[in-house]
Structure 1
Amino acid sequence: MEQPLLRSETPDYETFSEKSEQEQEQNYIRTLKNKRLFLATFAAVLGNFSFGYALVYTSPVIPALERSPNPALRMNKTESSWFGSVFTLGAAAGGLSAMVLNDLLGRKLSIMFSAVPSVIGYALMAGAQGLWMLLLGRTLTGFAGGLTAACIPVYVSEISHPGVRGALGATPQIMAVFGSLLLYALGLKVPWRWLAVAGEVPVVVMMVLLCFMPNSPRFLLSQGKEEEALEALAWLRGRDTDFHREFQQIQNSVQQQSSRLSWAELRDPFIYKPIAIAVLMRFLQQLTGVTPILVYLQSIFHSTAVLLPAEEDAAIVGAVRLVSVLIAATTMDKAGRKILLFVSASMMLVANLVLGLYVQLSPQPPAPNATVDLSGGALEASGSGSYLMLVPLLATMLFIMGYAMGWGPITWLLMSEILPLKARGVASGLCVLVSWLTAFVLTKSFLLVVNAFGLQVPFYFFAAICLVNLVFTGCCVPETRRRSLEQIESFFRTGRKSFLR
Structure 2
Amino acid sequence: MSADMDEKTPLIRRSTSVSQIRNSGLFLAVFSAVLGNFSFGYSLVYPSPVLPQFTGPEADPRLRMDTAQAAWFGSIYSLGAAAGGLGAMALNDLVGRKLSIMMSAVPSATGVLMSSVQFLSQCFPMCPQCLSVSVTSWPVSRVPRVSTSAMPASCPVTISEISHRRVRGALGSCPQITAVFGALALYSLGLVLPWRWLALAGQVPVVLMVLMLAFMPSSPRRLLSQGRSQKAEAALRWLRGRDYDTGAELCIIQHSIDTQAKVTWSQLATPIYYRPIGISVTMRFLQQMTGITPILVYLETIFSQSNVSLDPKYDAAIVGAVRLFSVSIAASLMDRAGRKALLYTSSLLMFLATLTLTMISRATPSCPPGPTPPHNGTTLDCSSHEALGQTAMGVIPLIGTMVFIFGYAMGWGPITWLLMSEVLPLVARGVASGLCVTVSWLTAFMVTHAFTYMVDRYGLVAPYLLFTVVSVLGLLFNAVCIPETRGRSLEEIENYFRTGRSFTINQHPSTSMSTPVSTPVSTPRQET
Does TM-score exceed 0.5, indicating one fold? yes
Deviations 1:295-349 (A, max 9, x none): 1111111111011111100000001011111112233233354433332222212
Question: How many residues are paired up?
Answer: 456
Aligned to 2:336: 334
User: Do the aligned partners of 1:171 and 1:329 also contact (CA within 8 Å) in 2?
Assistant: no
56, 60, 65: which one aligns with 2:49: 60
The answer as to 2:225 corresponding to 1:236 is no
Aligned to 2:145: 141
Q: How does 1:70-469 map to 2 (within 5 A)?
A: 70-128=60-118, 129-130=133-134, 132-145=136-149, 147-241=150-244, 243-258=246-261, 262-363=264-365, 382-383=386-387, 386-469=391-474
Cα 1:389–1:331 shift into 2, 3 Å: same
Q: Aligned-pair distance for 1:426? A: 3.6
State the distance in 1 between where 2:104 and 2:214 align: 14
Q: Aligned-pair distance for 1:91? A: 1.5
Moved more, 457-466 or 315-324: 457-466
State the distance in 2 between where 1:421 and 1:237 align: 25
TM-score (norm 1): 0.82
Cα 1:344–1:226 shift into 2, 3 Å: farther
User: Do the aligned partners of 1:59 and 1:299 also contact (CA within 8 Å) in 2?
Assistant: yes
Larger radius of gyration: 2
3, 15, 28: which one aligns with 1:39: 28
Cα RMSD, aligned residues only: 3.1
State the distance in 1 between where 2:63 and 2:448 align: 21
Q: Aligned-pair distance for 1:389? A: 1.5
User: Do the aligned partners of 2:496 and 2:503 also contact (CA within 8 Å) in 1?
Assistant: no
Structure 1: which amino acid aligns with 2:154? C
Q: Aligned-pair distance for 1:413? A: 3.8
User: Do the aligned partners of 1:170 and 1:328 also contact (CA within 8 Å) in 2?
Assistant: no
Moved more, 91-100 or 64-73: 64-73
Structure 2: which amino acid aligns with 1:203? V
Cα 1:489–1:257 shift into 2, 3 Å: farther
State the distance in 2 between where 1:483 and 1:156 align: 23
Q: Aligned-pair distance for 1:151? A: 1.4
Structure 2: which amino acid aligns with 1:342? Y
Moved more, 386-395 or 219-228: 219-228
State the distance in 1 between where 2:346 and 2:112 align: 33
User: Do the aligned partners of 1:221 and 1:229 also contact (CA within 8 Å) in 2?
Assistant: yes
Cα 1:279–1:398 shift into 2, 3 Å: same
Deviations 1:242-278 (A, max 9, x none): 55444433433332223x5544443354544443333
Q: Aligned-pair distance for 1:155? A: 1.9
Structure 1: which amino acid aligns with 2:139? L
Aligned to 1:497: 503
Q: Aligned-pair distance for 1:165? A: 2.8
State the distance in 1 between where 2:306 and 2:296 align: 15
State the distance in 2 between where 1:325 and 1:53 align: 16
Deviations 1:82-111 (A, max 9, x none): 111111122222122123222222222211
Give percent identity, aligned residues only: 53
Cα 1:391–1:301 shift into 2, 3 Å: same
State the distance in 2 between where 1:480 and 1:214 align: 34
Q: Which runs of 5+ in 1 are unaligned?
A: 1-25, 365-380
Report the secondary structure of 1:136's partner residue: coil
Cα 1:286–1:30 shift into 2, 3 Å: farther
User: Do the aligned partners of 2:112 and 2:203 also contact (CA within 8 Å) in 1?
Assistant: yes
Structure 2: which amino acid aligns with 1:386? T
User: Do the aligned partners of 1:91 and 1:143 also contact (CA within 8 Å) in 2?
Assistant: yes
Structure 1: which amino acid aligns with 2:36? G
Cα 1:466–1:493 shift into 2, 3 Å: closer
Q: Aligned-pair distance for 1:47? A: 0.7
State the distance in 1 between where 2:415 and 2:183 align: 18
User: Do the aligned partners of 1:282 and 1:431 also contact (CA within 8 Å) in 2?
Assistant: yes
State the distance in 2 between where 1:469 and 1:414 align: 15
State the distance in 1 between where 2:467 and 2:183 align: 22
Moved more, 227-236 or 453-462: 227-236
TM-score (norm 2): 0.78
Higher relative CO (Cα under 8 Å, sequence separation at least 6) belongs to 1
Q: Aligned-pair distance for 1:133? A: 2.5
User: Do the aligned partners of 2:39 and 2:148 also contact (CA within 8 Å) in 1?
Assistant: no
User: Do the aligned partners of 1:351 and 1:398 also contact (CA within 8 Å) in 2?
Assistant: yes
User: Do the aligned partners of 2:71 and 2:453 also contact (CA within 8 Å) in 1?
Assistant: no
State the distance in 2 between where 1:105 and 1:431 align: 22
Report the secondary structure of 1:328's partner residue: helix
Moved more, 392-401 or 323-332: 323-332
Structure 2: which amino acid aligns with 1:36? G
User: Do the aligned partners of 1:86 and 1:135 also contact (CA within 8 Å) in 2?
Assistant: no
